[in-house]
Amino acid sequence: MTDETIRVWDYLTEYEQERDALMGAVDTVFRSGRLVFGDSMRAFEEEFAAYHDVPHCVSVDNGTNAVKLALQALGVKPGDEVITVSNTAAPTVVAIDAVGAVPVFVDIDPDTYLMDTAAVEAAITPRTTCLLPVHLYGQCVDLAPLEALADAHGLRLLEDCAQAHGARRHGRIAGSAGHAAAFSFYPTKVLGAYGDGGAVLTPDPEVAERLRRLRYYGMAERYYVVETPGHNSRLDEVQAEILRHKLRRLDDYIAARRAIAARYAEGLAGTGLTTPRLAPGNDHVYYLYVVRHPRRAEILGALATRGIELTVSYRWPVHTMSGFRHLGRKPGTLPVTEAMAEEIFSLPMYPSLPVAAQGRVITALRELLAG
């Protein structure tokens, strides 16, 4: 890659713009005398809960563990079935597997690539204990039918919000509807740390208390007695303080992403690329800008030669991965998921993407595809 390469995600421009605040955050922590479990973590948890208007936030060390610990705190046990999608980041499913539960996949909607909520009821069995929708690419799954099913069947509802910080559907913010919601602060995410991080939101004080123990070896803080063995899954103070700074800027980042999305939609009209479609009432945050075209391989190759990096999220549906073949979902059993996986790809998207760089991407695609 040359200096001129346009990457699908980059933080270096943002770092230059925000360097004083970021280095200030690091210095605040280093001078505080506490590097884990200190004031920055506690303040971030309060501020992140308040942003969502949800009573409790328990921070953890990454998004995978946020899903894993949330499942455990909600009482999901080995052998339980958890209904989710195969078109997601593998960690959603890895976390289900890690607690010994069985992932059960439903197909996706061909317009939004989100969980086909109409398919969920038929997937419920006596062993189902949890529904795990993923607000993929920055757009919210319609939770109303899932809440109704959860009520009717006594299931837990866990939202995977790793790609949807600040996204809303009919005004309701992602992470505020379920029994719990898991977030990742992996650097590329809409709210990203300068390293790893994660958090769980929950309205339930008992779930929050279980999460606090699970992330700290299974101990109640200050009592140092393990009742149920847990994990070590703490958010460190440096990342927490950086996340406090970035949370204050989150709405600006989202606005920048939306402006980029609007320029793509306008610039790519008439090229035959299918640009993102919004489900009714959705305020998309464009974690990824995912488009679709039958000639994907040719497009990726042609743009690479012009110094433009495109990626595929996700090229291999989770149920087709060798590590999940034991689940017995043969290729062909999730036809929409599998068909979309052949054609989708992601264009460069991050808040500080320069307008000129985006213009190069649009021009390259137009020259290749239009007319």
Ligand X SMILES: *Cc1c(COP(=O)(O)O)cnc(C)c1O
Q: What angle do CA 96, 94, 291 make, to 5 degrees?
A: 110
For position 348 contacting ligand X by CB under 6 A, the verdict is no
Burial bucket for residue 128 (CB in 10 Å: 0-12, 13-18, 19+): buried
Nearest distance in Å: CB 188, ligand X = 8
Do the bridges between strand 168-169 and strand 198-202 make them parallel or antiparallel, or are there none, so unpaired? unpaired
Q: Could you tell me which of 146, 96, 81, 66 has the C-alpha nearest to residue 318?
A: 96
Closest CB to ligand X among residues 130, 364: 130
Nearest distance in Å: CB 285, ligand X = 13
Stretch that binds ligand X, among 71-79, 156-164, 202-210, 293-301 (CB under 6 A): 156-164
For position 184 contacting ligand X by CB under 6 A, the verdict is yes
For position 89 contacting ligand X by CB under 6 A, the verdict is yes
Among 88, 128, 282, 346, binds ligand X (CB under 6 A): 88
Closest CB to ligand X among residues 158, 361: 158
Provide the CA 196 distance to its chain's centre, in angstroms: 13
For position 163 contacting ligand X by CB under 6 A, the verdict is yes
For position 178 contacting ligand X by CB under 6 A, the verdict is no
* Residue indicated by tokens 């995977």: 160
Q: How far apart are CA 62 and CA 182, in angstroms?
A: 10
Among 14, 22, 91, 303, binds ligand X (CB under 6 A): 91
Closest CB to ligand X among residues 193, 357: 193
Residue sitting closest to ligand X (CB): 63
Size of site (CB under 6 A) for ligand X? 16
Q: How far apart are CA 43 and CA 281, in angstroms?
A: 32
Among 63, 103, 166, 276, binds ligand X (CB under 6 A): 63
Helices (H), the chain: 12-32, 39-52, 63-73, 90-98, 120-123, 144-153, 205-214, 237-267, 296-305, 335-343, 355-369
For position 70 contacting ligand X by CB under 6 A, the verdict is no
Closest CB to ligand X among residues 196, 219: 196
Q: How far apart are CA 183 and CA 201, in angstroms?
A: 8
Nearest distance in Å: CB 104, ligand X = 17
Q: How far apart are CA 273 and CA 264, in angstroms?
A: 11
> DSSP labels for 293-329?
-TTHHHHHHHHHHTTB--B-TTSS-GGGSGGGGGG--
Closest CB to ligand X among residues 106, 134: 134
Among 14, 80, 160, 338, binds ligand X (CB under 6 A): 160
Q: SS3 for 102?
A: strand
Q: What angle do CA 317, 322, 327 make, to 5 degrees?
A: 80
Q: How far apart are CA 141 and CA 174, in angstroms?
A: 9
Closest CB to ligand X among residues 49, 164: 164
For position 286 contacting ligand X by CB under 6 A, the verdict is no
Stretch that binds ligand X, among 88-96, 116-124, 226-234, 344-352 (CB under 6 A): 88-96
* Contacts of ligand X in 96-155 (CB under 6 A): 134
Binding site for ligand X (CB under 6 A): 62-64, 67, 88-89, 91-92, 134, 160, 162-163, 184, 186, 196, 198
